[in-house]
Amino acid sequence: STDGGRNLSLDSIPMGLPMSDPTAWATAMNNLGMAPMGMTGQPLLPDFDPALGMMTGIPPINPMMPGLGIVPPPIPPDMPAVKEIIHCKSCTLFPPNPHLPPPATRERPPGCKTVFVGGLPENGTEQIIMEVFEQCGEVIAIRKSKKNFCHIRFAEEFMVDKALYLSGYRIRLGSSTDKKDTGRLHVDFAQARDDLYEWECKQRMLAREERHRRRLAEERFRPPSPPPVVHYSDHECSVVAEKLKDDTKFSEAIQTLLTWIERGEVNRRTANNFYSMIQSANSHIRRLVNEKAAHEKEMEEAKEKFKLALSGILVQFEQIVAVYHSASKQKAWDHFTKAQRKNISVWCKQAEEIRNIHNDELMGIRREEEMEMSDEEIEDPSEMKETEESALVSQVEALKEENDSLRWQLDAYRNEVELLKQEQGKATRDEDTTKEQQMKLLQQALQGMQKHLLKVQEEYKKREAELEKVKEDKLKIETLLENLKEQESSTSRVCACSQEKECPVDKMLSTSPVKSEREVLLVGIISTFLHVHPFGASIEYICSYLQRLDSKICTAEVEVLMTRLQNTFRQELSGVGASLEKRWKFCGFDGLKMT
């Protein structure tokens, strides 16, 4: 039969080793997955486990399985691989020398199912190649070249590993010894587009599955969406208005109100209802302020408790430190051993450090309280003016709010009037009289509101005029303060001049243009600066240089000093037209010749 021709029976296996070698025979039988038997029929390995013969997790191999003589199953890494002669129907495969190194292979491409087979006999056909390699697994395609190599594509990736087992074998067609009928097989990984495409498709499928699992996990841990907001109606409006007055349900109701306003539910018919709900939301601010005040009160009480507790702890620390100090005196200190003295001194240092830390903390709390008290007690007149201005501004803002509220009420009344006009045609004649009365009443109310509006606007204008007067008074006071400061400075200068006149040495100094040692220093620095700048420099540039040395120097003082020293400094105009600029130059050398 064909299976008998292809497969290898036990009698037809030509062993490369003599039968008298029991270890080689045991290795060959173990490669076949069978319990090794000796010549007498006794097992060579009494503890042999067929399930552990080739691969873990694979049942024991039957010696009659197809392809057993062609490609043995994988061998465990701890067992030396022994390759045998393989007989096929039309060719024979001889194993390579076991002492040679294993054949080199390239890096395995991702998803590789194609192998390169080189070293084929020149007379080899596709049928012979199929006969040899179909035992490794299902062959999808063979692409044979005119030269002695081909590419074989298998159905699965693990079949490539079986085909690589044949790398290094010598092949012989039939019993011929001709060169064209022999060759040495070289099997290696091949890079094929189809393999890469299938591998990428598989990776994309795995990525999709992973994204799907991740999405399911995110949806499982995602918080539930908030409940949908009900649509506006008169009944729901009344319910929300009641909830706005309840502290426990306020947050839910205010969210519903916000959603309705954003949806555009406010119109002429519903404007009054929405205004009342907004008013109740505004009244909730007072409750929040009271709640905040209660929390602040609790925080102050907690601070006081903490301060009292900290002071008690400090008292105890002082007592402990006093104990350590008394123990370190000579009366008691001489009776302790060296180790005890060392421990007592270390404990004393630690206690003093902790006490100092707590004492600093308590002093910091007291300083903060004193700062707060001092900030409350000290009130400058400028702050009083600012408080008055802020009070006026707050009054103006309150009037603006009243004005806006009155306008909203007017709009609401107008809306009601328009609604009444629309409903007027539908009502009967009897109802017309009552509606006319209502219209008259509404018109009277409108007139009253308009009068009140005019009064409010007049008050608003008066308040603005008062605000402007206050601002003008403030400016006048500021100018008066500046004048007073200037008068004080002038009087101080006059006093200084009078004192200088009294002493004779000062008389001599007053005749010279330089009046003090400071001015002498300034003259020297300015002369050095202008000597470096031969084309001159503006007064601002000179003052910016001097202010780096002393920030109290002003431009007026420097300019007056330089104008007094006409033989040392000279002012010139440079530039044309709009770019005219006054520059000071150093002329001390020329002035020395003149004098």
Supply the CATH number for residue 562's domain: 1.10.10.10
Categorize the per-residue pLDDT at 67 as very low, low, confident or very high, splitting at 50, 70 and 90: very low
Tens digits of residue pLDDT in 194-232: 999 999 999 999 999 999 999 999 888 888 777 788 888
Residue ending a domain, among 368, 386, 420, is 368
Residues 283 and 183 in one domain: no
Percent of the chain with pLDDT over 70: 78
Residue where a domain terminates, one of 368, 395, 414 = 368
Token pair in block for residue 118: 């080189």
418 located within any domain: no
Q: b or e along 124-140 (b: 16 or more beta carbons within 10 Å of the residue's beta carbon)?
A: beeebbebbbbbbbebe
Rg (CA), the chain: 55
Q: Which of 301, 318, 349 is the last residue of a domain?
A: 301
Domain harbouring 158, CATH code = 3.30.70.330
Distance CA 13, CA 456 (A): 120
Judge if 175 and 194 occupy the same domain. Answer: yes
Q: Report the domain count for the chain.
A: 4
> What is the reported pTM?
0.30
190 band by pLDDT with thresholds 50, 70 and 90: very high
84-98, 369-383, 572-586, range with the lowest pLDDT: 369-383
Average pLDDT over residues 528-554: 86
Q: What are phi and psi of 513, to 5 degrees?
A: -70, -25
Whether residue 475 has pLDDT greater than 60: yes
Which of 136, 99, 94, 96 lies closest to 114, judged by CA? 136
Identify the band that residue 386 occupies on the pLDDT scale cut at 50, 70 and 90: low
> Coil, helix or strand for 575?
coil
Residue 49 has pLDDT above 50, yes or no: no
Q: Of 413, 399, 412, 417, which Cα lies nearest the Cα of 454? A: 399
**Both 360 and 269 in a single domain?**
no
Question: For the CA atoms of 177, 180, 185, 189, what is the dihedral angle to 10 degrees?
Answer: -170
Mean pLDDT in residue range 553-577: 83
Tell me if 6 is assigned to some domain: no
Q: Which domain holds residue 260?
A: 234-301
Per the domain annotation, does 442 fall within a domain? no
pLDDT of residue 296 exceeding 70, the answer is yes
Query: What's the CA angle centered on 171, arms 74 and 118, to 5 degrees?
Result: 80
Could you tell me what percent of the chain has a pLDDT over 90? 13
Does any domain span residue 327? yes
**What per-residue confidence (pLDDT) applies to 31?**
47
Per-residue pLDDT at 189 exceeds 50: yes
